[in-house]
Homo-oligomer: A and B are copies of this chain.
Amino acid sequence: MGGTGQAMNTDDLASRLIAGERRALARAITLVESERADHRQQAGDLLKAVAGTGHQALRIGLSGTPGVGKSTFIESFGTMLTGQGVRVAVLAVDPSSTRSGGSILGDKTRMERLSREPNAFIRPSPSRTQLGGVARRTREAITLCEAAQYDVVLIETVGVGQSETMVSEMSDLFALLMAPAGGDELQGVKRGIMEMADMILVNKADGDLVAAATRTCADYSGAVRLLRKRAQDPEGFPKVMMVSALLQDGLGAVWDDMLNLLAWRKANGHWEKQRARQARHWFEQEVRHGLLGVLKTPEVQARMAELGAKVAGGTLLASDGARQLLDGLKKP
């Protein structure tokens, strides 16, 4: 991000990004990922500069535990879309990379075919960031992808829990990828995840696993019917389907259903309402994030270290120490 004339750089970056230049998009995302104060300022300028483009993508959240074939699915699904002239951006959100560099085998060999497509843009998860930071970076990256004229932004995450809630809060629709499994394992799927999902895709419906996939599909269909009907769902949603990412089977049907769901929600005002609700949610998150910034001054950090040492030594209760620190903040 070096060079002179920051404002000019930002404007230049914005126009190259809007023109759909992939390298500009990559650089812009690097900028929004930075925590440096001057970069935050530039990122703000950039986001304002691209705010007017009006291009909106379909934001698809995709989750699934390790081993269900997410990379293969994104590779096949993304390549199908780019083959139809749809421009696809993939953003990964990996909460476990807060601790280390991500999955053991790394991301480099993932989605090789898709990454070679000129209409595709793939961005791995930034590492060593707090989940709060990841959320902001991902939202801003989505905005940048939209400004860069991508038609689909696929936000990929892993696992069960917090990161899925986060991704569903920035997506227009949320798909959960599942593996075929014994009937016993259904009980392990949390209602919260099921309630988030607009589509449950039972992957690996190929070879030896077709029977298991069919059974799993039936199990989830049954479970989904037990859930309370949501206002934002047309008849037949949440939908449970079988796919084989490996054989590229069922992916056209998934896409058709996504477009149908989107059209229905747009026609019925749900899409707009959901985006507004999400914007409000993330605004409130920004407020919280900003408020916590007061703890980052050297004085407060020093005081925190001092009280923290007492807590660690067992001579001060954590709650009492926290009260002492916060009382100190109130007197400027």
Contacts and interface: CB of A to CB of B under 8 A. Distances in A.
Interface of A: 44, 47-48, 51, 65-67, 94-105, 131, 158-165, 181, 184-196, 223, 226, 276-277, 279-280, 282-284, 286-292, 294-295, 304, 307-309, 311-314, 317-319, 321-323, 325-326, 329
A288 B132 CA distance: 13
B322 A286 contact: yes
A190 B291 contact: no
Greatest chain B CB density within 10 A among A186, A283, A312 is at A283
| SS class, residues of chain A in contact with chain B | helix
B163 A162 contact: yes
Given A131-B162, A161-B96, A288-B292, A279 B318 contact: yes
B48 A317 contact: yes
A179 to B, nearest CB: 9
19 contacts: A95-B160, A98-B162, A98-B192, A99-B191, A100-B190, A100-B192, A101-B191, A104-B191, A104-B194, A131-B162, A162-B162, A279-B311, A280-B311, A283-B308, A287-B304, A287-B326, A290-B326, A291-B295, A292-B292
